[in-house]
Structure 1
Amino acid sequence: MTQAPEFWNIVYDNDTAPWVIGEPQPAIVALERAGWIRGRVLDPGTGAGEHTIALTRLGYDVLGVDLSPSAVAYARRNAEDKGVPGARFEVADALAFADRGDRLGEFDTVVDSALFHVFGTESDVRAAYVRGLHRICKPGGRVHILALSDAEPGFGPRISDSIIRDSFTADGWELEDLSPSLYRGRVTEVVAEDAARYGLPTHGLVDMAAWLARIRRV
């Protein structure tokens, strides 16, 4: 389900992105409170920048990156509006981390909220992303992935737990935990029809089945 930047620009320019909920994901907030976010942090597919903003406010050295220039512009405005002008964002392609990771540097923690599942069943694309994560993640660092689960139907790209497991079986990774979780989305006009089809609310926020994975770079 990979798309050109122009595809993503439209939903930010029109403010119809179903993943823009005006706050960080509760699952990511819980990760931070449990002490799993440490050191220098990367927020790939930052979108509206909620996780970068929240973590910057807490004193973390964090960088949010997104393929979409409109997303980055949105995130910067969001940070200003929330009184965190120091939050840092850049336009960057997560699929190019393996080739251009040296420009971003290395990270102790990667917080992937709703990016990994965008690659769906595209095994070659996922492999490129995972190689890039290995390139930019320090040895001993951790990647946290929050992805929509195919355990229930609904809008958005959904994946199985086996896709996550299979993607991190190569040398250089240790899958430490993979558990059911929840992802909070927003029903906007672009998904309202799908939401109705699956018996979900047709407006407002909705919690959906997700996977939360913790993977250590060895």
Structure 2
Amino acid sequence: MPETTPPKSLFDDIYAGGAAPWVIGEPQPAIVDLARRGAVRGAVLDAGCGAGEHTILLTELGHDVLGIDFSARAVELARRNAADRGVAARFEVADATRLDGGPRFDTVIDSALFHVFDADDRARYVDSLRSVCRPGAVVHLLALSDAGRGFGPQVSEADIRTAFADGWVVESLGATTYRGVVGPAHTEALGLPVGARVDEPAWLARMRLS
């Protein structure tokens, strides 16, 4: 797990450099599968939307979805990607640990946001989600697993269960993979060249607000 949550400036710099290892030009396969199985319903929040691939996908499928990211550069990129594809997707700059506005979401998609937080920010994040989710809302969480090789921040099954212990029911939590692009910082740990695609161990969890 991360010792401290990385600062927003780090993510701004990574997006500005155009080499974010989690930007793969397509949605994560695990999220695509959720959409195909009808696991996404109602008003949707894409928390930590990054380049906007999941917000764009779900908008194309007819969902009412809002993508948020605390990096303004990420939101700029997401809006460009949506415009390039002719999709009227909605994006806002927002801190997912400090959401407000009352309950309005039925589904939350979290692809690689939870795992960047330290324990304190994970608690704040889950409380923040609770404040904007309707009763019975579902969070689908895709996070790098502690079984991985160091592609990015990693969390354990216990980290997820602990964060969602109060007021949530963990309906499922199992192993899957997270797709990324190898960057210079990962070549030694992964034994792969820069630019290679990699599918790393991840958790896919489903939590329901009780």
TM-score, normalised via structure 2 length: 0.94
1:166 and 2:165 correspond: no
1:102 is matched with 101
Contact 1:126 1:167 in 2 (8 A): yes
Q: Distance in 1 between matches of 2:185 and 2:7?
A: 24
Does 2:141 align with 1:141? no
Q: CA deviation at 1:46?
A: 0.4
Does 2:52 correspond to 1:49? Answer: yes
Deviation at 1:11, TM superposition (A): 1.2
Distance 1:48 1:152 in 2: 23
SS state at 1:94 partner: coil
Superposition RMSD in Å: 1.3
Alignment deviations for residues 78-128 of structure 1 (CA, whole Å, 9 cap, x no partner): 1011121x100000001112xxx117x510000000000001xx2221111
Matching residue of 2:94: 92
Measured after TM superposition, the shift of residue 20 of structure 1 is 0.3
Match of 1:72 in 2: 75
Normalised TM-score (structure 1): 0.91
Name 2:33's counterpart in structure 1: 30
Displacement of 1:194 in angstroms is 2.4
Any conservation in 1 of the 2:69–2:93 contact (CA below 8 Å)?
A: yes
Pairwise CA distance, 1:176: 0.1
Matched ranges for 1:9-28 at <5 A = 9-28=12-31
1:44–1:112 Cα contact (<8 Å) kept: yes
**Quick one: percent identity of the two aligned structures?**
56
Match of 2:174 among 170, 179, 183: 179
- Give 1:156's aligned residue: 152
User: Which stretch shows the higher mean deviation, 7-16 or 141-150?
Assistant: 7-16
Residues 106-125 of structure 1: pairs in structure 2 closer than 5 A: 106-119=104-117, 122-125=118-121
Match of 2:61 in 1: 58
Residue 102 of structure 1: SS of its match in structure 2?
Answer: coil
Q: Which amino acid aligns with 1:156?
A: G
Match of 2:201 in 1: 209
Q: Distance in 2 between matches of 1:4 and 1:106?
A: 28
Runs of 4+ in 1 over 4 A off after TM superposition: none
Give the unaligned 5+ runs of structure 1. none
Give per-residue Cα distances to partners, 1:33-72, cap 9 Å, x unaligned: 1111000000011000000001101110000000011000
Q: How far did 1:187 drift?
A: 1.5
1:195 to 183, 187, 194: 187
Q: In 1, Cα distance between the equivalents of 2:89 and 2:46?
A: 11
Distance 1:7 1:40 in 2: 30
Hey, what's the Cα distance between the residues in 2 that align with 1:55 and 1:194?
30
CA displacement, residues 119-176 of structure 1 (integer Å, 9 cap, x when unaligned): 1xx2221111010111111101100100000113222001111100111111x21000
Q: SS of 1:95's equivalent?
A: coil
Q: Which amino acid is the alignment partner of residue 92 of structure 2?
A: E
How many residues are paired up? Answer: 207
Distance in 1 (CA, whole Å) between partners of 2:189 and 2:65 is 38
